[in-house]
Amino acid sequence: MATTVNPSTRSTTTEAHARREAWRRRLPLLPALVFTIIATQIPFLITIWYSMRSWNLLNPASDVFVGLQNYIAIFADRTFRQVAVNSVLYTLGCVLLAMLLGIGLALLLDRKFIGQGVVRTMLITPFLIMPVVSAILWSISMFNPSYGLVNWVIGLVGIPPVAWTSQYPFLSVLVALVWQWTPFMMLLVLAGLQSQPKDVLEAAQVDGASTLNTFFYITLPHLRRYIELAVLLGAIYVVNTFDQIYLMTAGGPGTQSANLPYYIYQRAFLGFDIGQAAAMGVVVVVATIVIATVALRLIFKSFMSTED
Amino acid sequence: MTTETLTTAPPTSTGTPKSAGPAGQGGRRVRSAALTVFTWIVALVFFMPVLWMVLSSFKQEADAASSPPKFFFVPTLDQYAAILGSGAGGYFLNSAIATLVSTLIVLLLAIPAAYAVSIRPVQKTQDVLFFFISTRMLPVVAVIVPIYVVAGRLRVLDNVWTLIFLYTAMNLPLAVWMMRSFFQEVPKEVLEAAQMDGASLMTTMRTILLPMVAPGVASTALLCVIFAWNEFFFALNLTAVNAATVPVMLVSTMTSEGLFLARLSAASVLASLPVVIAGWIAQKQLVRGLSMGAIK
Element (H, E) at A166: helix A164-167
pLDDT range class, residue B45, cuts 50, 70, 90: very high
Number of domains comprising chain B: 2
Number of domains comprising chain A: 1
**Torsion angles phi and psi, residue A85, rounded to 5:** -60, -45
Q: Is residue A212 part of a domain?
A: yes
Same domain assignment for residues B235 and B185: yes
| Nearest of A229, A228, A138 to residue A177 by alpha carbon | A138
3-state secondary structure B203-271: HHHHHHHHHHHHHHHHHHHHHHHHHHHHCCHHHHHHCCCCCCCHHHHHHHHHHHCCCCHHHHHHHHHHH
Q: How far is A272 from chain B (nearest CA, A)?
A: 10
A89 touches chain B (CB under 8 A): no
Question: Residue A305 has what pLDDT?
Answer: 60
Taking the C-alpha atoms of residue B216 and residue B212, their distance in angstroms, rounded to an integer, is 9
Same domain assignment for residues B168 and B215: yes
Q: How far is A25 from chain B (nearest CA, A)?
A: 5
Element (H, E) at A113: none
Q: Is residue A264 part of a domain?
A: no
Beta-bridge mates of residue A54 = A64
Average pLDDT over residues B54-63: 91
Q: Is residue B97 part of a domain?
A: yes
Question: Residue B296 has what pLDDT?
Answer: 74
Beta-bridge mates of residue A65 = A53
Taking the C-alpha atoms of residue A134 and residue A129, their distance in angstroms, rounded to an integer, is 6
Same domain assignment for residues B95 and B204: yes
A205 touches chain B (CB under 8 A): yes
Same domain assignment for residues B258 and B113: yes
Contact B249, B91 (CB under 8 A): yes
Contact A295, A229 (CB under 8 A): yes
Query: CATH code at A248?
Result: 1.10.3720.10
Contact B42, A107 (CB under 8 A): no
Residue B41: burial class (beta carbons within 10 Å; 0-12, 13-18, 19+): exposed
Q: Is residue A104 part of a domain?
A: yes
Same domain assignment for residues B147 and B61: no
Q: Is residue A204 part of a domain?
A: yes
Question: Residue B22 has what pLDDT?
Answer: 52
Between helices A274-306 and A220-239, what is the axis angle to 10°?
160
| C-alpha count within 13 angstroms, C-beta hemisphere, residue A163 | 4
pLDDT tens digits along B1-11: 333 344 444 44
Radius of gyration of chain B (CA): 24
Q: Is residue A153 part of a domain?
A: yes
Q: Which domain holds residue A124?
A: 91-259
CB contact under 8 A, B148 and A268: yes
Nearest Cα residue in chain B from A277: B145
Query: CATH code at B226?
Result: 1.10.3720.10
Assign A56 to helix, strand or coil.
Answer: strand
Residues 6+ apart with CB under 8 A from A86: A170, A256, A257, A258, A259, A260
| Nearest of A101, A198, A156 to residue B16 by alpha carbon | A198
Same domain assignment for residues B255 and B120: yes
Residue B133 with chain A: CB contacts under 8 Å? 296, 299
**Torsion angles phi and psi, residue B262, rounded to 5:** -65, -45
CB contact under 8 A, A108 and B38: yes
Average pLDDT over residues A288-306: 72
Q: Which of A45, A100, A130 to mutate to test the interface with B (most CBs of B within 10 A)?
A: A130
Length of chain B: 296
Chain centroid offset of residue A283 CA: 17
Average pLDDT over residues B273-286: 87
Q: Which of B137, B220, B284 to mutate to test the interface with A (most CBs of A within 10 A)?
A: B137
List helix spans (H) across chain B.
22-57, 61-64, 78-85, 89-116, 125-136, 141-153, 160-183, 188-196, 201-203, 210-230, 233-238, 246-256, 261-281, 283-290
Same domain assignment for residues B152 and B286: yes
Taking the C-alpha atoms of residue B214 and residue B289, their distance in angstroms, rounded to an integer, is 15
Q: Is residue B295 part of a domain?
A: no
Same domain assignment for residues B226 and B258: yes
Beta-bridge mates of residue A64 = A54
**For chain A, give me the number of helices (H) and strands (E)?**
16, 2
Statement: residue B47 has pLDDT above 90: yes
Same domain assignment for residues B211 and B198: yes
Distance spanning both ends of chain A, measured CA to CA: 17
Same domain assignment for residues B93 and B176: yes
Q: How far is B36 from chain A (nearest CA, A)?
A: 6
Nearest Cα residue in chain B from A39: B169
Distance spanning both ends of chain B, measured CA to CA: 6
Residue A240 with chain B: CB contacts under 8 Å? 139-141
Residue B139 with chain A: CB contacts under 8 Å? 239-240, 261, 281, 284-285, 288
Q: Which domain holds residue B237?
A: 83-290
Q: Is residue A222 part of a domain?
A: yes
pLDDT tens digits along A159-203: 999 999 999 999 999 999 999 999 999 999 999 998 888 888 888
Question: Residue B2 has what pLDDT?
Answer: 39
Q: Is residue A269 part of a domain?
A: no
Question: Residue A6 has what pLDDT?
Answer: 53
Contact B69, A147 (CB under 8 A): yes
Beta-bridge mates of residue B36 = none
A239 touches chain B (CB under 8 A): yes
| Nearest of B122, B248, B41 to residue A30 by alpha carbon | B122
pLDDT range class, residue B71, cuts 50, 70, 90: confident
Residue A2 with chain B: CB contacts under 8 Å? 126-127
Average pLDDT over residues B109-121: 89
Question: Residue B9 has what pLDDT?
Answer: 41
Same domain assignment for residues B151 and B247: yes
Q: How far is B181 from chain A (nearest CA, A)?
A: 9
Q: Is residue B74 part of a domain?
A: yes
CB contact under 8 A, A285 and B17: no
Average pLDDT over residues B26-41: 90
Q: How far is CA A283 from CA A97, A268, B98, B101, in A?
A: 26, 15, 30, 33
Are β-strands A53-56 and A59-65 bridged in parallel, bridged antiparallel, or unpaired? antiparallel
| B81, B100, B129 - which closes a domain | B81
| Nearest of A232, A255, A253, A251 to residue A301 by alpha carbon | A232
Provide the b/e sequence for A15-39 (b: ≥16 CB within 10 Å).
eeeeeeeeeebeebbeebbebbeeb
Statement: residue B258 has pLDDT above 70: no
Same domain assignment for residues B29 and B118: no
Q: Is residue A99 part of a domain?
A: yes
Q: Is residue B268 part of a domain?
A: yes
| Nearest of A79, A127, A132 to residue A264 by alpha carbon | A79
Contact B236, B142 (CB under 8 A): no
Question: Residue A57 has what pLDDT?
Answer: 81
